[in-house]
Structures are given as structure tokens and as C-alpha cells.
Amino acid sequence: MAEHKNLLGGPEPTHLPENEEAYRLLGEESLAPAEVAAKHPTFSLAWAMLADDAFEAGRVVESYAYARTGYHRGLDGLRRAGWKGHGPIPWDHRANRGFLRCLAALARAAGEINEKDETERCWQFLQDSSAEAYAELKR
């Protein structure tokens, strides 16, 4: 994992806690994201996967709802991890990726339903939180 050196005196990077059981269910057990979200509703990666699947199938409002759920569950986790509303949320920390993917999915779906302010706010939040995630997800 890359070390993030804070040269400007801002907050330290925030790392969500890992959920090995949820990863195991997705991987080894091959459970569907909906089943994993039902068993582990705070696991943002499952919500991000649901949002991506719905978006790809043309179900934009459903994608928006899944992304918003995972985003809010991720925010709750970030706050519990000490996040104060700003600062780095590193993409290279596996547990952060679900939240960051939900944030990108929310921006994408919001754009499709003409929520311009939310689209811009979410993309900016993603860029401010992790330039690496922004580069990876805003394609």
C-alpha cells in the first residue's frame, strides 16, 4: 500500500475497515451483490456493483438509488473511522473502493436524470477525495 505523506498539514487519509466476510461471499461463495448487500448492508462495494449493473441495463433510477445507498453507508463508515468531512480517502485501500465507486456511480446516474448540481458536487468530491479514483472512474 502506498504511503500518503501529508505535506500541507491537512487531515490524514481515512481508511474504511475491511469486511473479509463480505469479500469472501462475493468471491469464494459467488453470491450475487444483492445477497451480499442484504447480509452486509454497510458494505458499499455490493451497492456499487448493484448500481453499475443497473446502469448498464438502462435502469438509471435504480442505479441512482443503489449508488445513494452505498454512498450514505460509506459516509457513515468514514465518520466512524474518524473522517471529518474532508481529506484523502485513498483508492489504493481496498475497503475504500466501494465507497468511491458509489460516489462515481451516483455522479453518473445523477447526470442521467438531470441533477446537474449533484453531478458536479459528486465528481468534485471524488476528485478531492482521491485523484486516483477520479482518474480511474470518470471515463
Measure the CA–CA gap between 54 and 62, rounded to whole angstroms. Answer: 6
Give a yes or no: residue 64 inside a domain. yes
Give a yes or no: residue 10 inside a domain. no
pLDDT at 129 over 50: yes
* Structural domain for 69, as ranges: 32-137
Q: Which helix (H) or strand (E) holds 53?
A: helix 44-56
Give a yes or no: residue 68 inside a domain. yes
Give a yes or no: residue 5 inside a domain. no
Q: How many domains does the chain have?
A: 1
Q: Quote the pTM value.
A: 0.92
Give a yes or no: residue 130 inside a domain. yes
pLDDT at 3 over 80: no
Please state, in angstroms and as integers, the Cα–Cα distance from residue 99 to each residue in 16, 48, 57, 134, following that order: 9, 8, 21, 12
Find, among 102, 97, 124, the residue nearest to 54 by Cα: 102
pLDDT at 1 over 50: no
